[in-house]
Chains A and B, each alone.
Chain A
Amino acid sequence: MTKTLTHLKRLEAESIHIMREVAAEAENPVMLYSVGKDSAVMLHLAMKAFYPSKPPFPVMHVDTTWKFREMIEFRDTHTKSLGLDLIVHINEDGVKQGIGPFSHGSQVHTDVMKTQALKAALDKYGFDAAFGGARRDEEKSRAKERIFSFRSAQHRWDPKNQRPELWNIYNTRKAQGESIRVFPLSNWTELDIWQYIHLENIPIPGLYLSKKRPVVERDGQLFMVDDDRFPLKDGEEPMMKSVRFRTLGCYPLTGAVESEADTLEDVIQEMLLTTSSERQGRVIDHDAAASMEKKKQEGYF
């Protein structure tokens, strides 16, 4: 009798295999946790991979200080309930300089508070391998990203100098100072992620579900007024609208969509019937076509 493994079981097994390989071969691994739905799946898989042991590495969130407040609450309660060791890293220099998306624009903010902060955090703790939740289906330039992606001591990615990956054999060797970014969700699609969250009942932040939230419109997109740092124009009043978020990030950079989907199933339904792709809500992708590739070379995850 042949037992058919479902596509989610096969994806799950592949991700677990990758995580175990890193745990066995890296000296000081860390799991990067962005508090989004992909991170939620990655954390869940890590719990499975090492059970009954706890994952043999800490979880790290690079906090830009501009995340939705609800994300931060969720982060703290969720990692605590799983019994995980959470590191929160903030670029204190950036905070002192008052760097933010409103004052400095999305590019400078993301570079200082996210890209540079991540590099500094990896250096500070000496992590030699970092799991990330990126998927190959997110963007064309990611379709060719390896599962084990090598970064120079300066954290740069060289698209011409990546190692071939055959079968399920991963070469984790690296020189002193170099590090590896590992993407255990490489072969998952957005739909796989949602189906798995549904099937496994994985907790995700409430921001993914629709709720009346205070929003204002900027350049045709809706942004949530999550705290009083949001600069309102004269006489401008946030509108209360039923909105949800398809991706989570810094609240001033994350567009909301109007929706009545307030359950997970409704969200999936809406996503399946929709006609625009996931990353559209992210301000950071709206630069030139090859922007993501450029950011990756510079060390943006």
Chain B
Amino acid sequence: MSHQSDLIAEDISAYLKAQEEKSMLRFITCGSVDDGKSTLIGRLLYDSKLIFEDQLNALEADSKKMGTQGQEIDFALLVDGLAAEREQGITIDVAYRFFSTDKRKFIVADTPGHEQYTRNMATGASTADVAILLIDARKGVLTQTRRHSFICSLVGIKRIVLAVNKMDLVDYSQKVLNDIEVEYREFAKDFGFTEIMSIPLSALKGDNIIEKSANTPWYDGPTLMHYLETVQVGDARQAADFRLPVQWVNRPNLDFRGFSGTIASGAIRPGDPIKVLPSAVESTVKSIVTYDGDLDEAVAGEAVTITLNDEIDISRGDVIAGKDHPCEVADQFEAKIIWMTEDHMLPGRPYLFKTSNKMVPGLVTDLKHKVNVNTLEHTAAKQLELNEIGVCNIALDSRIAFDPYTKNRETGSFIIIDRITNSTVGVGMIDFALRRASNIHWQALDVDKVARADMKHQRPAVLWFTGLSGSGKSTIANIVEKRLFQRARHTYILDGDNVRHGLNQDLGFTDADRVENIRRVGEVAKLMVDAGLMVMTSFISPFRAERRMVHDLMDEGEFIEVYVDTPIEVCAERDPKGLYKKAKAGEIKNFTGYDSPYEAPERADIHVNTEAMSAEECADKIIGYLEENGYLTANGNGQR
């Protein structure tokens, strides 16, 4: 860790004092393995004397064993991490490296340049102030350069270093650098970069990394290290409007009520007027409390606790903003989404959306188009796949405080979480709120659901039959309806035959269409329940997530999941519509159980096994459930 200051040996106290005033820069390196990216990072670590003797010995040994540079040191080996990757000779994830000079501490996000890794690059770029774009001097601006630039721009990076590497292989030609720079500037002109700094380099030989190279006498710009040490960052964030997303309410006792969080932008002082969002309640700042004493001022990036002069109700998820320039509040947005998982993003499927301090259920209502990262073309699409970028409309279950992402990275971003696997499946950047949401109000009617149900002497609900094709859903649903009808109940059956031929005739059998099919059926069933009916639906409905979505549409107790459990061999043998035969012959695609999955319910309300029971017996069991749970009783709902 040998920093090279003489002060270390001479006056360690003075040295430490100076070091404690250092600033920090986070940057990302983009480029492919072949561009010499790992070599560049290894070189920065090596040349800033951050490699210890024991590491160097190991490096020399490793270089001989598996290096790609003959007897020379292979710097790439310093930074390629996990064992499996080392053997493959590629980096496959985001790795963070650290080094410091006497002026600054640096955090480097090292991300791979392969086609399929948009996800990793966006991850690394999301916290970076500057991006270093590696370009092989022999190859110039490539498709991947465009892709990397687009992602940097999307994620809001403003400063780009165009690091033209391998200059040693083009005889340190000034023309090569100039041509690349001209081409790049033209192509990047709409990306909103405030600075593009091109530097001729050889990471392998060390040209213009730390010291100005004698090989490029025509170049009068900064070396890479000089640029990184001096580039100004962070001013804009402090100059922006004040935002404090409340993370945690601090209540050690009844006399203290503070609001803790990291200031996303702007600055605050005691006495400043503030507005809390979404509630729009106003107050003034009483104090800025920290462990090291109260502050006169706090700025973007500081983690603080503030107290207010009025006792107002503020919780985690709220944003405290400056009174005169508050953030916006909405529950519907247009946003750019980067999809990060193998399972496709499907419009209509419910997800969780998490901002920096709040988690809200919601769904992508509409995929307007996707953006090709290589050509920047917009194309229509029904779903987003891993590493794809789309412009979408989003509807949340409740309102959140936000800013457009281009205005504020901290309050304009969110991640998307799968409700079943809990993994982070995508991320988004808010463009703007959709105003129309606030104009649609549910018409409150005098004759309501309870009134309509009471008149029919029943408690309306959906009996949602799910199971494989041929499992017996429709047969059982028909018997149940007959029984209910005989008892003068008001019923309706929704099934593939009466829905696919009309309402949903525009839908096919892809995953996206299956989701939309179920969403529409769910909405229709909801209206029918509102009308007071006992609704039976008979759809394969193979995905847990969609059944969950319909469940969530309904009020408590209105969704009864009936699992018609029949093994696929039995269904295939019955094959009432001859579909299994066709699927087997390859004539039908996306057939559930063959080449499309069926996710069985984990806790169905009613489970019927058609191997052990006849259809009549299954219907008996269902009617029994309805009786026991008061669905067939007048005034079952009771609480008017």
Residues facing B in A130-176 (CB within 8 A) are: 136-137, 140-141, 143-144, 159, 161, 163-169, 171, 173-175
Q: Is B12 an interface residue (CB 8 A)?
A: yes
- Tell me whether B252 and A53 are in contact (CB under 8 A): yes
A sample of 23 inter-chain contacts (CB < 8 A) reads A3-B297, A5-B299, A10-B24, A12-B303, A17-B247, A17-B303, A20-B247, A20-B260, A23-B248, A53-B251, A143-B110, A166-B123, A167-B126, A167-B409, A168-B262, A169-B354, A171-B424, A192-B105, A272-B2, A276-B52, A277-B54, A290-B82, A290-B83
Nearest A residue (CB) for B299: A3
Residues of B within 8 A of A5 (CB): 23-24, 234, 299, 301-302
Nearest A residue (CB) for B125: A166
Chain A proximity of B618: nearest CB distance (Å): 32
A11–B100 alpha-carbon span in the complex (Å): 14
Residues of B within 8 A of A266 (CB): 12
Q: Is A265 an interface residue (CB 8 A)?
A: yes
Chain A proximity of B411: nearest CB distance (Å): 10
Residues of A within 8 A of B393 (CB): none
Known: A2-B235, A189-B98. 14 other contacts (CB 8 A): A5-B24, A5-B299, A12-B303, A13-B303, A20-B303, A51-B290, A52-B289, A140-B79, A168-B127, A189-B105, A199-B20, A275-B53, A289-B83, A290-B83
Chain A proximity of B351: nearest CB distance (Å): 12
Residues of A within 8 A of B97 (CB): 137, 143
A4–B483 alpha-carbon span in the complex (Å): 76
Chain B proximity of A266: nearest CB distance (Å): 7
| Given the contacts A13-B301, A265-B13, A265-B16, A191 and B100 also touching, CB distance less than 8 Å | yes
Q: Is B55 an interface residue (CB 8 A)?
A: yes
Q: Is A81 an interface residue (CB 8 A)?
A: no
- Tell me whether B16 and A6 are in contact (CB under 8 A): no
A147–B83 alpha-carbon span in the complex (Å): 20
Q: Is B401 an interface residue (CB 8 A)?
A: no
Residues of A within 8 A of B19 (CB): 195
Nearest A residue (CB) for B262: A17
Interface-facing stretch out of B322-330, B377-385, B415-423, B589-597: B415-423
- Tell me whether A272 and B1 are in contact (CB under 8 A): yes
Interface-facing stretch out of A33-41, A42-50, A111-119, A202-210: A42-50
Q: Is A221 an interface residue (CB 8 A)?
A: no
Residue from A16, A189, A276 in contact with B54 in the complex, judged by beta carbons closer than 8 Å: A276
Residue from B81, B289, B302 in contact with A13 in the complex, judged by beta carbons closer than 8 Å: B302
Interface-facing stretch out of B88-96, B137-145, B164-172, B223-231: B88-96
Nearest A residue (CB) for B56: A275
Chain A proximity of B153: nearest CB distance (Å): 16
- Tell me whether A2 and B54 are in contact (CB under 8 A): no
Contact with B along A201-236 (1 / 0, CB 8 A): 000000000000000000000000000000000000
Scoring B82, B248, B256, B305 by chain A CB atoms within 10 A of each residue's CB, the highest score goes to B248
Q: Is B427 an interface residue (CB 8 A)?
A: yes
Residues of A within 8 A of B80 (CB): 140
Nearest B residue (CB) for A44: B291
Residues of A within 8 A of B13 (CB): 265
Chain B proximity of A245: nearest CB distance (Å): 17
Q: Is B414 an interface residue (CB 8 A)?
A: yes
- Tell me whether A169 and B52 are in contact (CB under 8 A): no
Chain B proximity of A40: nearest CB distance (Å): 15
A213–B287 alpha-carbon span in the complex (Å): 50
Chain A proximity of B258: nearest CB distance (Å): 8
Nearest A residue (CB) for B252: A53
Q: Is B208 an interface residue (CB 8 A)?
A: no
- Tell me whether A171 and B83 are in contact (CB under 8 A): no
A268–B8 alpha-carbon span in the complex (Å): 9
- Tell me whether B248 and A16 are in contact (CB under 8 A): no
A49–B291 alpha-carbon span in the complex (Å): 8
Q: Is B316 an interface residue (CB 8 A)?
A: yes
Residues of A within 8 A of B81 (CB): 140-141, 143-144
| Given the contacts A144-B94, A174-B422, A272 and B20 also touching, CB distance less than 8 Å | no
- Tell me whether B83 and A269 are in contact (CB under 8 A): no
- Tell me whether A277 and B52 are in contact (CB under 8 A): yes
Residues of A within 8 A of B256 (CB): 52
Residues of B within 8 A of A136 (CB): 96, 98
Q: Which 10 A-B pairs have the closest CB atoms?
A: A290-B83, A7-B24, A275-B53, A16-B303, A166-B126, A173-B422, A7-B105, A277-B52, A51-B291, A53-B252
A50–B9 alpha-carbon span in the complex (Å): 39
Chain B proximity of A200: nearest CB distance (Å): 9
Q: Is B122 an interface residue (CB 8 A)?
A: yes
| Given the contacts A171-B417, A191-B100, A272 and B8 also touching, CB distance less than 8 Å | yes
Q: Is B107 an interface residue (CB 8 A)?
A: yes
Nearest B residue (CB) for A272: B8
- Tell me whether A51 and B305 are in contact (CB under 8 A): yes
- Tell me whether B422 and A52 are in contact (CB under 8 A): no
Contact with B along A46-66 (1 / 0, CB 8 A): 011111111000000000000
Q: Is B628 an interface residue (CB 8 A)?
A: no
Nearest A residue (CB) for B235: A2
Chain B proximity of A50: nearest CB distance (Å): 7
A50–B290 alpha-carbon span in the complex (Å): 9
Residues of A within 8 A of B83 (CB): 141, 289-290, 293
| Given the contacts A7-B104, A169-B356, A268-B16, A137 and B54 also touching, CB distance less than 8 Å | no
- Tell me whether A164 and B340 are in contact (CB under 8 A): yes
- Tell me whether B261 and A20 are in contact (CB under 8 A): yes
Q: Is B22 an interface residue (CB 8 A)?
A: yes
A261–B50 alpha-carbon span in the complex (Å): 22
Residues of A within 8 A of B427 (CB): 164, 166
Chain A proximity of B56: nearest CB distance (Å): 9
A197–B302 alpha-carbon span in the complex (Å): 19
A167–B340 alpha-carbon span in the complex (Å): 15
Nearest A residue (CB) for B421: A175
Residues of A within 8 A of B9 (CB): 269, 273
| Given the contacts A268-B12, A272-B1, A277-B55, A4 and B23 also touching, CB distance less than 8 Å | yes
Nearest B residue (CB) for A174: B422
- Tell me whether A164 and B238 are in contact (CB under 8 A): no
- Tell me whether A16 and B96 are in contact (CB under 8 A): no
Residues of B within 8 A of A289 (CB): 83
Chain B proximity of A11: nearest CB distance (Å): 8
Residue from A168, A272, A276 in contact with B53 in the complex, judged by beta carbons closer than 8 Å: A276
A164–B302 alpha-carbon span in the complex (Å): 24
Chain A proximity of B428: nearest CB distance (Å): 10
